[in-house]
Chain A
């Protein structure tokens, strides 16, 4: 009998990622650390190279041809990002170094000029340090108070508790869309609607959602949304802040310098219009242009398709993990067809420390993360000193999950036989 096996999404795209085709410690690389950073397709690599080989030039600063070309590509990239998250205007997209810088921008610019003693900021216990420390600093500076949403029994955002925390004192809610550790998808639309009833602003940390599912900031109605390019097939050094136009207009500059000005006198200056008001100094031009290429690449595949395919892998991953009795996973279990949670699994394996697991997996070519994944307070809350995490992308395959599971079983058995 002959039949043609349907090609999976991974089968179709793997050739686009040169880095995946190598051996690590003598074994084919199985890269399962995508939540830390994604790999880059040729389109992105070539875009970087073309820029430096063909039109490297500063932006907004010259009338010569190369500068115009670089400026067009840089601003064109902004259009692509705006369309990708469905922003109402290209002026609502500010390029930053990464999500962390974007959050700091909001904390300093909006936070220091809008918050006072006794005002409240609501975060959740699952926040990445990047969405915690900037608010701690702001609270220290302004006297604002931090409140934390905890987890439900299924280790998800406790919406009911959130409702009991929020009040007229709440000025800001800042939370992660998809947790990089629990993998839960937070009900951001509901959170935002509730917050707005109390007049609070909402920032969404979309680092782990933008690369994996369609995002629509207008539908979500968030006030700000941040993401990092390097987790979505773009280079490091580039990320973005989305902010509602009126809100960004009302915010004072964050960093001062070139690019962000209109008229400069010795004792004062007027500032450039949005979004350049927030882009002081020569930006990461090549990286920003390459982010545009990454967005093209992802859009070309289609975010719906990526989400569905990754969900299938997620379902399979959790099924397989469930076969190993020593494994305890964190966050909600996937629902039908693997849907309802992100394509990552944080776990512990009985007595075996995550670092030891990671070393053994590494010897089999499998790259996972071990540690606290920049969510120390969450780990404390879960009473787990550290966890191991396998995080998937659309270029991962079931076969790779099999290699991961087989080695994981071996590692657990190896340690188990000693511990008896």
Chain B
């Protein structure tokens, strides 16, 4: 296609995660459960998180949802990157991802897979698509009794 910058955005890896997500579904058991959405465009995401016995480390994250390639790929990549991370580390990753969307930061080598999303920063209107899953994760981890999700948290108030 003549539109080369579109290729930068929709890198092969992103499209593969969109088409063949590896972390779709629900964790068993569910220790954290949170729904998030971007009300103005209709993208929704539902995250479930399984923690270790101490409750300070992530064993597994899964997602369900409907949305564009960017939103869904971002969720799948995130879920893969979170396995085995401490809750505190995960929250720092949220911050780092949000900075990356401002073009200000990138992930270090061991998490470099997440850097394929960096191109989204060049498309300001799509940043909220990529951020949705991270924003939802933050809410899930910060509310200790969220194993029964009610309602949605909006990803659009902060912007």
Check if A385 sits within 8 Å of B66, measured CB to CB: yes
User: What chain A residues lie within 8 Å of B16 (beta carbons)?
Assistant: 418
Interface residues of A in 365-420 (CB under 8 A from B): 370-372, 376, 379, 385-386, 407, 410-411, 413-415, 418-419
Give per-residue flags for B11-36: 1 if the beta carbon is below 8 A from chain A beta carbons, else 0: 01001100100000000000000000
User: What chain B residues lie within 8 Å of A354 (beta carbons)?
Assistant: 68
Check if A363 sits within 8 Å of B42, measured CB to CB: no
Check if B3 sits within 8 Å of A353, measured CB to CB: no
Check if B6 sits within 8 Å of A363, measured CB to CB: yes
The size class of the interface chain A forms with chain B is: 20 to 34
Check if A353 sits within 8 Å of B69, measured CB to CB: yes
Known interface pairs A370-B41, A376-B42; A355-B70 also in contact (CB < 8 Å) = yes
Closest Cβ neighbor of A352 among chain B residues: B69
Nearest CB in chain B: distance from A42 CB, A: 29
Cβ-neighbour of B9 out of A353, A359, A376, A415 (below 8 A): A359
User: What chain A residues lie within 8 Å of B6 (beta carbons)?
Assistant: 359-360, 363, 414
Nearest CB in chain B: distance from A36 CB, A: 13
Closest Cβ neighbor of B20 among chain A residues: A419
Cβ-neighbour of B68 out of A356, A364, A407, A414 (below 8 A): A356
Check if B12 sits within 8 Å of A356, measured CB to CB: no
Nearest CB in chain B: distance from A325 CB, A: 19
Give per-residue flags for B57-96: 1 if the beta carbon is below 8 A from chain A beta carbons, else 0: 0000000001111100000000000000000000000000
User: What chain A residues lie within 8 Å of B153 (beta carbons)?
Assistant: none
Check if A356 sits within 8 Å of B70, measured CB to CB: yes
Check if B129 sits within 8 Å of A414, measured CB to CB: no
Known interface pairs A355-B129, A410-B3, A418-B19; A385-B42 also in contact (CB < 8 Å) = yes
Nearest CB in chain B: distance from A30 CB, A: 14
Closest Cβ neighbor of A360 among chain B residues: B6
Nearest CB in chain A: distance from B147 CB, A: 26
User: What chain B residues lie within 8 Å of A359 (beta carbons)?
Assistant: 6, 9, 123, 125-126
User: What chain A residues lie within 8 Å of B159 (beta carbons)?
Assistant: none
Check if A353 sits within 8 Å of B68, measured CB to CB: yes
In the bound complex, CA of A360 to CA of B69 (Å): 12
In the bound complex, CA of A370 to CA of B70 (Å): 14
Nearest CB in chain B: distance from A406 CB, A: 10
Interface residues of B (CB under 8 A from A): 1-3, 5-6, 9-10, 12, 15-16, 19, 40-43, 66-70, 123, 125-126, 129
What are 30 A-B contacts defined by CB distance under 8 Å? A351-B19, A353-B67, A353-B68, A354-B68, A355-B41, A355-B43, A355-B67, A355-B68, A356-B10, A356-B68, A359-B9, A359-B125, A360-B3, A371-B40, A371-B41, A371-B42, A372-B42, A385-B42, A385-B66, A385-B67, A386-B42, A407-B3, A413-B1, A414-B6, A414-B10, A415-B10, A415-B69, A418-B16, A418-B19, A419-B15
**18 other contacts beyond A364-B3, A385-B67, A386-B42, with CB at 8 A cut-off?**
A353-B69, A355-B41, A355-B43, A355-B67, A355-B70, A355-B129, A356-B69, A360-B3, A363-B5, A363-B6, A371-B41, A376-B42, A385-B42, A407-B3, A410-B3, A414-B1, A415-B69, A418-B19
